[in-house]
Amino acid sequence: MTARSRLLRPGVVRAVSALGILAALALAGWAGRAWWESRLPGTYDVMDYGQPDYGGGPHVAHAHERISVATLHGPRGGTPDLQKTLTAARSEIRLASGRRVDVLAFDGRVPGPELRVREGGLVAVTLVNRDVRPGVSIHWHGVDVPNAEDGVSGVTQNAVPPGGRYTYRFRARQVGTFWYHSHQSSAKQVSRGLYGAFVVVPARKAAAALDLTVAAHRLRGSDVLGTSDRLQRRAVAPGTRVRLRLVNTDDSPRRFTLAGAPFRVVAIDGGDLRSPTAIAGQLLEVPAGSRFDVTFTMPPTPVTLQLVGTAAGIAFSRDGRIDVAAPNTSRVFDPAAYGAPNAARVPRKFDRSFRVDIGSRIAFRDGGIGKQWTMNDRVHPDVPMLVVRKGDWVKLTLTSDTRALHPMHLHGHHMLVLSRNGQAVQSPWWVDTVNLAKGDRYEVAFHATNPGLWMLHCHNLPHAADGLSLHLVYEGVHTPFRVGGRANNHPE
Ligand SMILES: [Cu+2]
């Protein structure tokens, strides 16, 4: 007998075992209860779960609300300047390499048709769903539309079922590069092709002679620019003013190089940058969901845009035959110290200040256990709900403590980047997506002028599907729509 077992008399052993069993039962009881309580009903109102956070401002009514999001729609009358029907359907397309891929597409194309409208123009787009289950919607990414036009199924509308249709009407007030995509089962539907570009051109200013939208995507395993997974060649006369609208419709950041001419980054997320200077040999890293607009004047020699790490690119040259090698650089363009400071007038004092800390931990969610994303240590859908009043100036601090990148996208508003990791930025710039890496801390400001119930979610869409999503709600607003249910609404 060892010394240890001699100490454990039978009585002690029994007592210890009994305690162990009790502890195990208690743990099982706790886990069972946590599991049971984490299960979500088949249908629910996202606002019933949100934990109201008033950001240090006055508490405002959010129970027994009077304003339905359905009433916050765009102009119903008036002749549209852009009228378009987009038909969503299962489809097959052929990439430049010849590879055929099964997709979900608007009008049988990926990206869907580019929609272009003049600033101030009235947009009327009718979505027709031919056969995409379980329904489709259209969200106008980066466009601060009235809430009912925001296209989030289960929040601002019901998903449009196969055979159904829905019309979006709004005025295009912001100039810039935006995109549209389904906000129903987004993680699956966007990745499979339900997206397209939406461009608003200035009412008066002349456009560049060559104005090209370039959407980067990984389509069923192929890296594409538009529909091309190869280097495309274009003939462009020297002296031509070129504007490239780089759109990242993917779940992770995409890097571009532009070789052969100095270029300027003239806009990010649709917001013009002030006094952009000419640069060269820098990587342009476009966060998921974001857009960078770059301009250059075509020289007599070739200019090549390349999607880094892929065969996709565009070679511009006088005869449309030659290209130039990508610069060997690891320097990433940083908007924080580029151009002149933005003239945006942001008050020194904010009406509300919110903080959202992104983390992860093992927890139950909807009857499953695993590593869950957390926001202020809470697991979806019991996450903070940011409550504001129309007219508030809001400061939002976003931090992340996880290894994954989180491009946090706010619907219906643009945010001015004030500081990054404790340093005030030299040239604050407007974004609709803040890309958070581990350890990052961003302070952004926005003006709450667009009443409604808005999502703030990770645009790495599988992360949103796994619960990295919360809401911003205005005083008195409620939604008649429900997640799940007969309409099969699945916003993420
Ligand atoms: Cu994320």
- Listing DSSP states for 175-220 in one string gives -EEEEEE--SSHHHHHHTT-EEEEEEE-SSSPPPSEEEEEEEEEET
Q: Provide CB contacts within 8 A for 194, sequence distance 6+.
A: 88, 104, 105, 106, 112, 132, 136, 181, 182
Ligand 1 centroid, distance to 127 Cα (angstroms): 28
Q: Which CATH architecture has domain 207-333?
A: Sandwich (2.60)
Ligand 1 centroid, distance to 359 Cα (angstroms): 10
Ligand 1 centroid, distance to 436 Cα (angstroms): 8
Ligand 1 centroid, distance to 458 Cα (angstroms): 5
Give domain limits for the chain: 43-54+343-484, 72-205, 207-333
pTM: predicted TM-score of the whole model, two decimal places:
0.92
Superfamily classification of domain 43-54+343-484: Cupredoxins -  blue copper proteins (2.60.40.420)
Q: What is the pLDDT of residue 27?
A: 84
Residue 276, phi then psi, degrees to nearest 5: -70, 135
402-425: string of b/e by CB count within 10 Å (b at 16+)? bebbbbbbbbbbbbbbbebeeeeb
Q: What is the pLDDT of residue 329?
A: 87
Residues within 5 Å of ion ligand 1, judged at the Cβ atom: 406, 458, 460, 463, 468
Rounded to whole angstroms, what are the CA distances from 17 to 10, 12, 31, 50, 96? 10, 8, 21, 43, 68
Ligand 1 centroid, distance to 202 Cα (angstroms): 33
Ligand 1 centroid, distance to 434 Cα (angstroms): 11
Exposure of 21 by Cβ count < 10 A (0-12 exposed, 13-18 middle, 19+ buried)? exposed
Ligand 1 centroid, distance to 349 Cα (angstroms): 30
Q: Provide CB contacts within 8 A for 93, sequence distance 6+.
A: 100, 101, 103, 105, 108, 109, 110, 193, 227
118 in Cβ contact with 200 (< 8 Å): yes
Q: What is the pLDDT of residue 204?
A: 87
Instruction: With CA atoms as reference, report the closest residue to 409 among 471, 468, 457, 479.
Output: 457
Q: What is the pLDDT of residue 64?
A: 58
Ligand 1 centroid, distance to 251 Cα (angstroms): 9
Ligand 1 centroid, distance to 9 Cα (angstroms): 54
Q: Which two tokens stand for residue 285?
A: 């890293």
| CATH of region 72-205, choose from 2.60.40.420, 2.60.40.10, 3.40.630.30, 2.40.10.340 | 2.60.40.420
182 in Cβ contact with 190 (< 8 Å): yes
Q: Which two tokens stand for residue 137?
A: 């919607």
Question: What are the helix (H) ranges across 327-380?
Answer: none
Ligand 1 centroid, distance to 402 Cα (angstroms): 9
CB-CB neighbours of 370 under 10 Å: 10
Q: What is the pLDDT of residue 2?
A: 46
Instruction: With CA atoms as reference, report the closest residue to 349 among 56, 133, 31.
Output: 56
164 in Cβ contact with 209 (< 8 Å): no
Ligand 1 centroid, distance to 249 Cα (angstroms): 14
Q: What is the pLDDT of residue 193?
A: 97
- Do the two domains 43-54+343-484 and 72-205 of this chain adopt the same fold? yes
207 in Cβ contact with 201 (< 8 Å): yes
Ligand 1 centroid, distance to 151 Cα (angstroms): 21
Torsion (CA) 220, 221, 225, 226 in degrees, nearest 10: -10
pLDDT tens track of the chain, all 492 residues? 444 555 556 777 787 788 888 888 888 887 787 777 777 778 888 888 888 999 999 988 655 568 999 999 999 999 999 999 999 999 999 999 999 999 999 999 999 999 999 999 999 999 999 999 999 999 999 999 999 999 999 999 999 999 999 999 999 999 999 999 999 999 899 999 999 999 999 998 888 899 999 999 999 999 999 989 999 999 999 999 999 999 999 999 999 999 999 999 999 999 999 999 999 999 999 999 999 999 999 999 999 999 999 999 999 999 999 999 888 888 999 999 899 887 667 888 999 999 999 999 999 888 888 999 999 999 988 899 999 999 999 999 999 999 999 999 999 999 999 999 999 998 899 999 999 999 999 999 999 999 999 999 999 999 998 999 999 999 999 999 999 888 889 888
Ligand 1 centroid, distance to 277 Cα (angstroms): 32
Ligand 1 centroid, distance to 381 Cα (angstroms): 16
Query: Beta partners for 424?
Result: 419
Q: Provide CB contacts within 8 A for 23, sequence distance 6+.
A: none
Ligand 1 centroid, distance to 377 Cα (angstroms): 15
Ligand 1 centroid, distance to 104 Cα (angstroms): 23
Ligand 1 centroid, distance to 341 Cα (angstroms): 29
Instruction: With CA atoms as reference, report the closest residue to 285 among 243, 241, 329, 322.
Output: 329
Q: What is the pLDDT of residue 198?
A: 98
Ligand 1 centroid, distance to 462 Cα (angstroms): 8
Rounded to whole angstroms, what are the CA distances from 49 to 41, 184, 382? 12, 20, 5
222 in Cβ contact with 95 (< 8 Å): yes
